[in-house]
């Protein structure tokens, strides 16, 4: 992607260097996979506590049955949704969460993502967080990857990398870390998309929970 112009504060400079090192070493990530905004929303719900390969299998099952639209999932019994998305793991819980989201979309916006995404970002974020089973990471994934809002997504990889590089305290919470990025970077959803995806790639390949590969890591010595 094109060069990003960052502000000159010390935190912004540090975040800019992290981003530039990751992009140079790992290349553009091309996130988030999904043919439609609704499919991206479904993926954001299903990806909790599992890997993307399993989510792809679950989404493929929904696609094969022509269920990748809000009303279809809303009207399908929870037990049938659970059976179809079984590959994603925790399928009973995720079926309930998926139907909660589609119920919210149907009841508040008539099933229209365009109507939902016409709201201001923080207003919609507050509404999403009121949906049972939609937490901050899922809400921000929906906002950023499906809605194109400049809402930074924080996940376990982000937390781990920032804490290991002393950019946040060990006890820092989700909203604190989200604000760090959003207050220090340009409000650019393309940048937020790429930055989050690069952090995930770095976390998977180098900054592992156990036995991190610090030698050769793009952030080594920063």
The model's pLDDT over 72-86, given as tens digits with 9 standing for 90+, comes to 999 999 999 999 999
pLDDT at site 1: 43
Q: 67, 84 in Cβ contact below 8 A?
A: yes
- In this prediction, residue 9 has a pLDDT band, given cuts at 50, 70 and 90, of low
Q: What is the pLDDT of residues 85-131, one digit of tens each?
A: 999 999 999 999 999 999 999 999 999 999 999 999 999 999 999 99
- Dihedral of alpha carbons 183, 196, 95, 148, sign: positive
Q: What is the mean pLDDT of the chain?
A: 92
What pTM, to 2 d.p., does this model score?
A: 0.92
What is the CA angle 144-146-148, rounded to 5?
50
Structure tokens of 183? 């207050």
Q: Is the pLDDT of residue 3 over 60?
A: no
């Amino acid at each position: 992607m094109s060069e990003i112009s960052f502000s000159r504060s010390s935190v912004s400079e540090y975040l800019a260097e992290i981003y530039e090192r990751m992009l140079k070493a790992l290349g553009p990530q091309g996130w988030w996979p999904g043919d439609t905004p609704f499919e991206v929303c479904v993926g954001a719900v299903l990806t909790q506590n599992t890997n993307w390969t399993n989510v792809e299998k679950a989404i493929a099952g929904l696609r094969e049955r022509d269920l990748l639209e809000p009303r279809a999932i809303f009207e399908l019994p929870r037990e049938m949704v659970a059976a179809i998305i079984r590959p994603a793991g925790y399928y009973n819980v995720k079926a309930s969460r998926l139907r909660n989201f589609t119920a919210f979309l149907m009841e508040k916006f008539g099933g229209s993502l365009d109507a939902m995404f016409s709201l201001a970002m923080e207003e919609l974020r507050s509404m999403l967080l009121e949906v049972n089973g939609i937490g901050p990471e899922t809400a921000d994934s929906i906002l950023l990857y499906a809605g194109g809002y400049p809402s930074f997504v924080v996940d376990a990889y982000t937390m781990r990398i920032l804490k290991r590089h002393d950019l946040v305290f060990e006890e820092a919470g989700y909203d604190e870390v989200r604000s760090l990025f959003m207050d220090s970077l340009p409000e650019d959803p393309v940048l937020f998309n790429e930055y989050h995806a690069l952090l995930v790639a770095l976390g998977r390949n180098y900054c592992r929970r156990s036995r991190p590969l610090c030698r050769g890591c793009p952030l080594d010595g920063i």
